[in-house]
Every structure is written in structure tokens, then in C-alpha cells.
Amino acid sequence: MLLRWVLILILLVLAGPSRAALGEAEMARLLPDGYSLGEKDRQMPVWPLIKAGMVAGYIFETGALTPIPGFSGTPMNLAVAMDDTGRLLDVQILSQHEPVFVDGYGPQPFADFLAQYRGLTIRQNIKIGSQYGASDRGGSTSVTLDGVAKATASLRIANLTIMGAATKVAQARMATVAPKPKSLPRADVDQPLSWEELQRRGYVRRLSLSEAQVEAAYKGSGFTDPDAPPDQEGTFAELWVAYLNLPGIGRSLLGDVQYRHLRDRLQPGEEVLLVLSRGRYSYAGPDFVPATVPDRLSLMQAGFPVNIRDMVHDYSLPPGLPPVDEVRLFRIDGSSAFDPASPWTLSLRTIREKGFIRPDREIRDFPLEYALPPDLFIRPERVEPPPEWLLAWGSRLPELSVLGLMLLALTAGLMAQSRLARQERLFYRVRLGFLALTLGFIGVYAQGQLSIVTVQGVVKGAARGMDFSFLLYDPVSLLLWAYVAVTFIIWGRGTFCGWLCPFGAAQELADALGRRLRLPQVKLPPRWDARLLGVKYAALALLLGVALVMPAAAEKVAELEPFKTAITLTFIRDLPFVLYALFWLLLGLVMFKPFCRYLCPLGAFMAVAGRLRLLDWIPRRAACGSPCQLCTARCRYKAIRRDGSIRYDECFQCLDCVGIHADAGRCVPLVVAARHGPGAAARIGAKGGHHAG
Ligand code: SF4
Ligand code: SF4
């Protein structure tokens, strides 16, 4: 029966997908609307997104850029499309092995979560909403995405993966959009200056094009301008441009009243340019629609385009400026990556056409360079958001506090185990109460069921270069693992399996219920019992072997544990999984903890790790095992040999034997000693010391 299960699981594993880097055709299928795929970058694993013949963003796989291990220990791989302003166009799942999204909820809630990234930018501080409800998406610099209950830790890793990869691409390929603090114009540089002084200081820059210069630019192209005047000495176009957010420039060019009015109209972070022109060629053009993006002007910074949009106004220019034909203000959106303290270029585009029905076009751009001295700006220090794992710890403080109290109480109880366990009935109630808390609070509420998936993740992390960072994102489990690691040294595996495992607690509560209902109890013959005890070690070897050899399939084999179904997803899952988990719990009504004792790979791992134990902490007498067999008979885990020594690998620290040993009314040698005096006590070894195995 068990071997058949192992075979079925191996087949499931072999059927599991694993994905290599995408090729061109696959990547092309993931393109956002309106973009085509450029040629793959030679230096980094990204593909340019092409729009109107220009690089307008990038699409890339996170797997190659930010391979952060997820909860199964395997990094998720997401396809991220980002435009040239750092806006995320799309995020899609390529592969993921998060236990909760594999067979738990399935991948759809994860895909729905990722859809929220569309339209966000890499300059925003993106947080994940609480696992118990959605939160706001407001604010331009900080956004909180709706979380998925019981999956917050996986979503935090996803967020880190996406933002990390996007930032890397931006820093390498889109210098202007990589998150950096935006320079702010100094408010104290506000003295109005004359037109001449503005030009002398470079606050206003000029582009002057004669007819001859433009003609020379088209020379040999075969394209002519039918409207060109015979006199080539005339002015084709003369442009002036100025950055108005600096008060000294804005006040000089608009006057105090108009400048104040302009400032009141601006949204936070918006920048404004003033563009003046005269000459035959209009930079707006005959088809220009006010309040739109002009065809004939383009703004570039560090090789990337910056969107400018006409700002309708009725401001008039103060006296002292040259006569001009065109006066327009252009706004730059606050969410853009434009940095006013860095150089930028405004280009005037000229277009010549040939033919009638589908005319050929020839374009020439004439650049006007603009740069203001950096000392006119303040560059605020970038406040780095706290690391994602720290946020995870902060958001779980209430659960961590309660868990901390539980662990303290357990430690205190175990240190006073003899006194506690001696009071049989009271101790039984306390134990069942603690197990109910373990199941309800640690397991269902705080989602702290430890799992073999974490052990597999550590194996995979070790194989990949000791990357165990994923453990930090689940603080409740990490605290439990840390506590359990310490208890390995003191008490062995029993502290976790006997007290802190939610599924183990569920089985023990099922046993208590079964006995309460007086259901007949199945007891396997000792030979079978002994054989089956070894199966869990084979299961452990299988699961760790798969994690090493076929990492992508590890979490599928880990379904041998019914923990995810019964505890993490509280049975809200596909029927086969539910039936499997129910099978073990129902069997537990008539057989003592069958899953724990025979099959649990995590229990096997705990037993192996529990060999670190330094103490033989269960008190024994010389009479234990010879002649007294009471504890051996009473230990339901069969962890006491006939000679009275303890098999700590199988001991779940239930303390039954500790209670008997300490109770003068139950410990046989003590009862005999009380009834027949010290002589009898000496004969049967009632005062003997410890012995252990
Ligand atoms: S044997 Fe497995 S299920 Fe049982 S208590 Fe230990 S870890 Fe939990
Ligand atoms: S009765 Fe068995 S399982 Fe319980 S503490 Fe003693 S040896 Fe361990």
C-alpha cells in the first residue's frame, strides 16, 4: 500500500514541468498590446519592447535576474514587461512552486495578484496588504496591493522578485528611470533676471536654424521642401526653451502673479517647460491639438524619451523678451523619471514627404541641449524602505508575541515536567488544551505548521549556494524552527512532535475523541509495528532525494504530508487531497497516531535531528524494565524497550512515563515500597538512578 503511494508520487513528479529560459517565439507571445519584440540584449537577459520603431521598454524573466528562493526553495519565474518610463505593463507567471499556489488555491489567485502590478511604476513603494483583507491602492509613491489570505509570505517574495528584477533592468538599461530621488529646484533661487541674464547663465537656451542649415541637412536625400523660400539666409525656426519650476526663471518669464497662478495649477512633482519660437516653421504644426503631445517636439534624457504634454494657458509674456510667434507651456508628469538637474535635449523634428498616396517620409531632428547647474537643485537623500523580510516580521508581531508566550510556557512546563505530570488528570487536561492551542493558533491562525517543504527548500538552497533567505519571510515558522533546533539538543524530537506540530496535535485530539467515543482500537502486531516504523525514514529519503535531483518536483512529492490540506488550507481543496488528509485523521480515531508513527517524513527528519540530544531526560529506576513493565506497557508510542530504556527517536515527550515515575500512587516500585517497606524497595530497585538507551 505504502509502496504504491511512493510510486504514484514518483509518477506525479516525473509529470511535473520545469522551464528553461524562453526563446523568441515564446517571449513574443507574452508581449503587451501595441509592442513588438526587439532583438535579445547581448549583455543581459532582457528583450527590448519596440514601439514606433524605437525601444519603448523591456520584457524579461525574473528567474535570471532575481532568483529569490520561494517557499519550496525554488525561485519563481515571472515575465515582466516594463515601459521606458519604468511603468510595469504586465507581469505573468512562467513557473512557480509556492506550495499554497501549486495545489492549494491553484495559480489563479497568484495571477490575479500579479495583475495589480499593471500601471504601477518601479519608483513606487509597493506593499502587500494584510493576509486577512485587502487594503488601499492610493497615493502616488506608496501602493498597497490586495493580498491573498495565507499566502502573504509568498507574495512578499513575488514582490521582491518583480521589483528587484525591474530595478536591475532600469539601472542597466534605463538610467533615467531607475529609482532615485528626484531633484527639487531650490526655492531660494528666486531672484528675477533679465532676458539677457537668463540667456547668459544658460537658464534659457536657444536653437536657431536658418533655411540653409535645414536644406543642408536634407542635401542628397532627394527630399525637398515645396514651401522653402528662395532666400536661404532667412530664419527657418528660432526656439527658446526654459525650465520654469525654478522660481528665479519662472518669475522672470511669467511675472509674479502669473507664476504663482501656474504653481497653483501644478500637481505634486509636475515640471513645466516654456517653449517660445518664431520663424517659418511652427513647432506645433498645423494639425496640433492643444493639450496633446506635440509631433514636432521630443524630449530625451540619457537616451530615453520623456513625455511632454501641452498645457493650455492664456499667460502673456512680460516686456523685454524678443517678439515670438508661438508661446506654449509643456508639462512633464510627476510620475515620470525626468530629473531636472540632469542634462536633457529638446529636439525639433522636421519632416519632408515625397509622393501622394503613401508618401515616403524623411525626418531630421535638430537638438537643443539644456542643462542647469546642479547647485540650483536639492537632491533629497533616498530613504530606503525597510527590507521586505523586516516588514514581514513587523506585520506578524501579534502572532509572534502569542507564539513567544506559548513557547515560554511550554519551556517552563517541560522544566518542571515531573511535578506537572505527576497530577495525572490535571496534566491530561493541560496537555489536550495546549494541543488544541497548537492546532488552532499555531496551525490554522498563525499558519505555523512546519513542513518537510522547508527542509527540502534548505536542501535546494544548499545545492544552489547556501541561499536560505526565503526562511526570513515566514517569521512564525522561523521562530518555531529556531526553538525546535534548541530543543533538539535538550530533549530531542519529542518537543516538536509532542507539543508543537499542529497536524500531530490533530491526530492526538482525534485519538482522544476516538477513546471518548469508546471506538474499538486497532493495534498492529509488534512485528508489523516495528517494520512500519521504518517507512517514514524511507519517505524522508525519497523527499530529500527528489529535492536534490528534481527540485521543481519537490513540492509535489511533499503532498505525502497532509499538512497543507488539513492545516494551511483547512480542507478547502480538491477532493483527492481532502480524502487523503481525512483518511489519516479518521484512522487516528481507531489507531494511535498512525501518520506520525509510520509515514511522516518531517517526523523522521525530527527524529534524525533529535539525535543531537545531549540529555537522557526521562528519569528511570533500576526496576524500570526489570521487573517493572508498567511504563513500557503504558507508552503508546512504543518508545520504551522491554529493558526499560528509552528510544528517544520515537519518544513524543507525552510525559506519561515521567508522571508515572514521579507518582507514588502509580509507580509500581514506589507503591511496593510504601506497602512493604524499604527492604522490598531495595529488592526491586525502587531507589535506582537513571538509565537510558
Ligand atoms: S510525526 Fe509528523 S505529523 Fe506527527 S507530530 Fe511529528 S511532524 Fe507532526
Ligand atoms: S511515555 Fe513514551 S512517548 Fe511519552 S515521554 Fe515516556 S517514553 Fe516518551
Q: Determine the distance separating the centroid of ligand 1 and the alpha carbon of 503, expressed in angstroms.
A: 7
Spatial separation of the C-alpha atoms in residues 500 and 498, rounded to whole Å:
6
Residue keyed to cell 538552497: 461
Which whole number is the average pLDDT over 549-555?
80
Q: For the ranges 215-219, 383-387, 604-608, 656-660, which has the lowest average pLDDT?
A: 383-387
- Can the peptide bond before residue 185 be classed as cis, meaning omega within 30 degrees of 0? no
439 CB less than 6 Å from ligand 1? Answer: no
From the CB of 504, is ligand 1 less than 6 Å away? yes
> 383 is written with which cell numbers?
530613504
pLDDT band per the 50, 70, 90 thresholds, residue 132: very low
Of 565, 606, 637, the one to substitute when testing ligand 1's pocket (max ligand atoms within 8 A of C-beta) is 606
Cα 553 to Cα 99: distance, rounded to the nearest angstrom: 11
Distance CA(635)–CA(657), nearest Å, equals 7
Distance separating alpha carbons of residues 542 and 557, to the nearest angstrom: 8
Cα 658 to averaged position of ligand 2 atoms, centre (Å): 8
Cα–ligand 1 centroid distance for 67 (angstroms) = 31
- Which residue bears the cell 507581469? 91
C-alpha of residue 681 to centroid of ligand 1, in Å? 39
Question: Confidence band (pLDDT; 50, 70, 90) for 172?
Answer: confident
92, burial (CB in 10 Å: exposed 0-12, middle 13-18, buried 19+): middle
Q: Mutation test of ligand 2: which of 597, 615, 632, 652 has the most ligand atoms closer than 8 Å to its C-beta?
A: 652
Does residue 135 have a pLDDT over 80?
no
Ligand 2 atom nearest to 655, measured from its CA? 5
More confident residue, 79 or 22: 79
In angstroms, the Cα distances linking 466 to 70, 90, 161, 460, 471 are 14, 32, 18, 8, 12
Q: If you measure from the C-alpha of residue 607 to the centroid of ligand 1, how many angstroms do you get, rounded to a whole number?
A: 10
Report whether pLDDT(467) > 80: no
For the CA of 656, the nearest ligand: 2
Cβ density class 635-665: b for 16+ within 10 Å, e for less: bbbbbbeeebbbbbbbbbbbbbbbbbbbbee
Note the pLDDT tens digit of each residue in 140-159. 456 778 888 878 878 888 88
552 has a pLDDT exceeding 80: no
- Residue 138 has a pLDDT of 39
CA dist., res. 591 & res. 532, Å (int): 14
Task: Tell whether the torsion through CA atoms of 558, 562, 448 and 479 is positive or negative.
Answer: negative
pLDDT at residue 392, rounded to an integer: 77
What's residue 649's pLDDT?
Answer: 93
219 vs 301: which has the higher pLDDT: 219
Write the residue with the smallest CA distance to atom 2 of ligand 2: 635
Whether 33 contacts 578, CB under 8 Å: no
Atom of ligand 1 nearest to the CA of 604: 1
CA distance 76 to 70: 6
* pLDDT tops 80 at residue 356: no
User: Which residues neighbour 286 within 8 Å (Cβ) at sequence distance 6 or greater?
Assistant: none
Ligand closest to CA 652: 2
Q: Number of C-alpha atoms within 13 angstroms, CB side, residue 280?
A: 17
Q: Is the pLDDT of residue 298 over 60?
A: yes
The contacts of residue 209 (CB under 8 Å, 6+ apart) are 235, 236, 237, 238, 279, 281, 348, 366
Question: What is the average pLDDT across 244-264?
Answer: 94
pTM over 0.85: no
Q: Which atom of ligand 1 is nearest to the CA of 504?
A: 5
Helices (H), 517-553: 526-533, 535-549
Contacts of 82 by beta carbon, 8 Å cutoff, 6+ apart: 57, 58, 59, 88, 89, 122, 166, 169, 170
Choose the weakest-confidence range: 32-46, 412-426, 558-572, 677-691. Answer: 677-691
H or E element that contains 6? helix 2-15
Atom of ligand 2 nearest to the CA of 646: 7
What is the CA(693)–ligand 2 centre distance, in A? 13
Question: Which pLDDT does position 693 carry in this prediction?
Answer: 40
The reported pLDDT for the residue numbered 384 is 65
Output the DSSP codes for 453-513.
HHHHHHHHHHHTTS--GGGGG-HHHHHHHHHHHHHHHHTTTHHIIIII-HHHHHHHHHHHH
637 CA: nearest ligand 2 atom: 3
Summarised one tens digit per residue, pLDDT across range 405-454 is: 999 999 999 999 999 999 999 999 999 999 999 999 999 999 899 999 88
Q: How far is the CA of 651 from the centre of ligand 2 (A)?
A: 5
- 593 Cα–ligand 2 center, Å: 14
Ligand number nearest CA of 508 is: 1
The mean-pLDDT minimum among 268-282, 325-339, 423-437, 493-507 falls in 325-339
Mean pLDDT, residues 540-545 taken together: 93
Instruction: Please determine, for residue 173, whether its predicted confidence score (pLDDT) is greater than 90.
Output: no
Tell whether the model's pLDDT for residue 481 goes beyond 50. yes
Which ligand has the minimum distance to the alpha carbon of residue 598? Answer: 1
Q: Quick one: which atom of ligand 2 is closest to the CA of 640?
A: 7
- Name, in order, each residue with C-beta under 8 angstroms of 558's C-beta and a sequence gap of 6 or more: 72, 99, 451, 452, 453, 456, 543, 601
Which residue is closest in CA terms to ligand 1's atom 7? 603
Which residue owns the Cα nearest ligand 1 atom 2? 603
Ligand 1 pocket mutation, candidates 435, 497, 591, criterion most atoms within 8 A of CB:
497
Q: Which residue lies with its CA nearest to atom 3 of ligand 1?
A: 504
Specify whether the CB–CB gap between 331 and 270 falls below 8 A.
yes
312 band by pLDDT with thresholds 50, 70 and 90? confident
Cell digits of residue 437: 492551542
State the distance between the two ends of the chain, measured CA to CA, in whole angstroms.
32
For residues 427 and 659, the answer to whether their CB atoms sit within 8 Å is: yes
* Closest ligand to residue 421's CA: 2
Average pLDDT, the chain: 85
From the CA of 655, the nearest ligand is: 2
Ligand closest to CA 693: 2
What is the position in ligand 1's atom list of the atom closest to the CA of 493?
Answer: 6
Torsions phi, psi of 189, nearest 5? -90, 80
What are the grid coordinates assigned to 88, written together?
510595469
Which among 645, 626, 627 is positioned nearest to 635, based on CA atoms? 645
Q: Does any ligand 1 atom lie closer than 6 A to the CB of residue 596?
A: yes
Choice from 477, 501, 652 to test ligand 1 binding pocket (greatest atom count within 8 A of CB): 501
More confidently predicted of 472 and 590:
590
More confident residue, 632 or 360: 632
Considering only the C-alpha atoms of the chain, give the largest distance between any 2 of them, rounded to a whole number of Å: 135
270 Cα–ligand 1 center, Å: 59
**Which ligand is located closest to the Cα atom of residue 438?**
1
Lowest mean pLDDT across 74-88, 174-188, 316-330: 174-188
Tell me which amino acid residue 496 is. F
**Ligand 2 centre from 388 Cα, in Å?**
42
d(Cα 53, Cα 35) in Å, to the nearest integer?
Answer: 10
From 613, 617, 654, 658, the mutation candidate for ligand 2 (largest count of ligand atoms within 8 A of CB) is 654
CA 497 / ligand 1 centre spacing (Å)? 5
Q: pLDDT tens for residues 191-206?
A: 999 999 999 999 999 9
Q: How many CA atoms lie within 13 A of 410 on its CB side?
A: 25
Q: What local confidence, expressed as pLDDT, does residue 650 receive?
A: 94
How many angstroms does the Cα of residue 630 sit away from the middle of ligand 2? 12
Q: For the segment 95-122, what is each residue's pLDDT rounded down to a tens digit?
A: 888 878 876 678 889 999 999 999 888 8
The bound ligand whose nearest atom lies closest to the alpha carbon of 660 is: 2
Query: Helix, strand, or coil here: 188?
Result: coil
Residue of the CA atom closest to atom 3 of ligand 2: 651
Could you tell me what percent of the chain has a pLDDT over 90?
A: 50
The stretch 621-648 carries a mean pLDDT of 93
Q: Could you identify the atom of ligand 2 that is nearest to the CA of residue 638?
A: 2
Residue 4, pLDDT above cutoff 80: no
* Distance between CA atoms of residues 105 and 601, nearest Å: 24
Residue with cell 515575465: 79
Element (H, E) at 239: strand 235-243
Quick one: pLDDT band at residue 692, thresholds 50, 70, 90? very low
Pocket of ligand 2 (CB under 6 A): 618, 635, 637, 639-640, 646, 651-658
pLDDT band at residue 359 under the 50/70/90 scheme: confident
Please say if the pLDDT value at position 474 is more than 80. yes
- What DSSP line would sit under 52-105, residue for residue? TTEEEEEEEEHHHH---B-TTSSBPEEEEEEETTSBEEEEEEEE---HIIIIIS
Rg (CA), the chain: 37
CB 31 within 8 A of CB 47: no
pLDDT interval class at 269 (50, 70, 90): confident
Residue 90 binned pLDDT confidence (cut-offs 50, 70, 90): very high
DSSP state of 381: P
Amino acid, single-letter form, for residue 509: L
Residue 538: other Cβ atoms inside 10 A: 15
Three cell numbers, residue 11: 509518477
Identify residue 8 by its one-letter amino acid code.
I
Give the pLDDT mean for 489-513. Answer: 96
Q: Report CA(76)–ligand 2 centroid distance (Å).
A: 42
